[in-house]
Structure 1
Amino acid sequence: MSLRFAEEILLLALDDKSGKLHALPEGSLNLAIAGGLIMELAFSNVIDTDDKSLQVLSREKMGDQLLDDVLAKIPEESPLSIQRALNAVTADIDTWKSRLFDELKERGILQQEEHRFLFVLKERRYPVIDDREEQEVKLRIREVVLDHEAIPDPRDVVVICLMNACDLSSVVFSEHELEQHRARIETIAKMDFVGQALSQAVNKIQQALLEVMAYSGM
Structure 2
Amino acid sequence: MTTLIAEDLLLLLLDDVKGTPTSSYLDVALGGALLLELALAEAVHVRERTSVWSSAKVDVAPGAVVSDPVLADALGRVAERERAASDLVTRLGKGTRDALTARLAERGVLRREDDRVLGLFPRTRWPEADGRHEDEIRARLTAVLVQGLDPDPRTGALVALLHAVGAAPSAVDRGGVPARDVRRRAKEVAEGTWAAKAVRDAITASTAAMSAVMAATTAAAAAGS
Do they superpose with TM above 0.5?
yes
Match of 1:124 in 2: 124
- Which letter does structure 2 place at the counterpart of 1:29? L
When structure 1 is superposed on structure 2, of 136-145 and 114-123 the one drifting more is 114-123
Q: How does the TM-score come out when normalised to structure 1?
A: 0.83
* Alpha-carbon separation, structure 1, partners of 2:100 and 2:222: 36
Report the Cα offset of residue 62 of structure 1: 2.7
Query: Secondary structure of the residue that 1:115 maps to in structure 2?
Result: strand
Query: Secondary structure of the residue that 2:151 maps to in structure 1?
Result: coil
Q: Is the 8 A contact 1:165 1:195 kept in 2?
A: no
Match of 1:193 in 2: 201
* Alpha-carbon separation, structure 1, partners of 2:163 and 2:215: 17
Say yes or no: does 1:32 pair with 2:29: yes
Match of 1:42 in 2: 39
* Unpaired stretches in structure 2, ≥5 consecutive residues: 49-55, 193-199
Report the Cα offset of residue 84 of structure 1: 3.3
Report the Cα offset of residue 58 of structure 1: 3.6
Say yes or no: does 1:7 pair with 2:10: no
1:23-56 Cα distance to aligned partner (Å, 9 max, x none):
x2x4x22121001111222222211235534321
Match of 1:72 in 2: 76
**How do 1:39-188 and structure 2 match up within 5 A?**
39-49=36-46, 52-58=56-62, 61-77=65-81, 80-90=83-93, 93=94, 95-148=95-148, 150-173=149-172, 174=174, 176-188=177-189
Q: Is the 8 A contact 1:116 1:122 kept in 2?
A: yes
Identical residues among aligned pairs (%): 25
* Alpha-carbon separation, structure 2, partners of 1:71 and 1:111: 28
* Alpha-carbon separation, structure 1, partners of 2:221 and 2:68: 42
- Which letter does structure 2 place at the counterpart of 1:198? S
Report the Cα offset of residue 19 of structure 1: 1.2
Query: Secondary structure of the residue that 2:178 maps to in structure 1?
Result: helix
1:110-161 Cα distance to aligned partner (Å, 9 max, x none):
110001112221111111111011111111011011233x222111110001
* Alpha-carbon separation, structure 2, partners of 1:196 and 1:165: 10
Match of 2:53 in 1: none
Report the Cα offset of residue 189 of structure 1: 1.3
**Structure 1's 39 and 206: CA in aligned 2 closer, same or farther, altered over 3 A?**
closer
Match of 1:204 among 191, 212, 218: 212
Q: Is the 8 A contact 2:45 2:59 kept in 1?
A: yes
Report the Cα offset of residue 86 of structure 1: 2.2
- Which letter does structure 1 place at the counterpart of 2:157? V
Query: Secondary structure of the residue that 1:116 maps to in structure 2?
Result: strand
**Structure 1's 195 and 46: CA in aligned 2 closer, same or farther, altered over 3 A?**
closer
- Which letter does structure 1 place at the counterpart of 2:126? Y
Query: Secondary structure of the residue that 1:74 maps to in structure 2?
Result: helix
- Which letter does structure 1 place at the counterpart of 2:70? L
RMSD between aligned residues: 2.5
Q: Is the 8 A contact 1:70 1:89 kept in 2?
A: yes
- Which letter does structure 2 place at the counterpart of 1:157? G
1:166-203 Cα distance to aligned partner (Å, 9 max, x none):
22223224484322332211011124433333333343
When structure 1 is superposed on structure 2, of 105-114 and 33-42 the one drifting more is 33-42
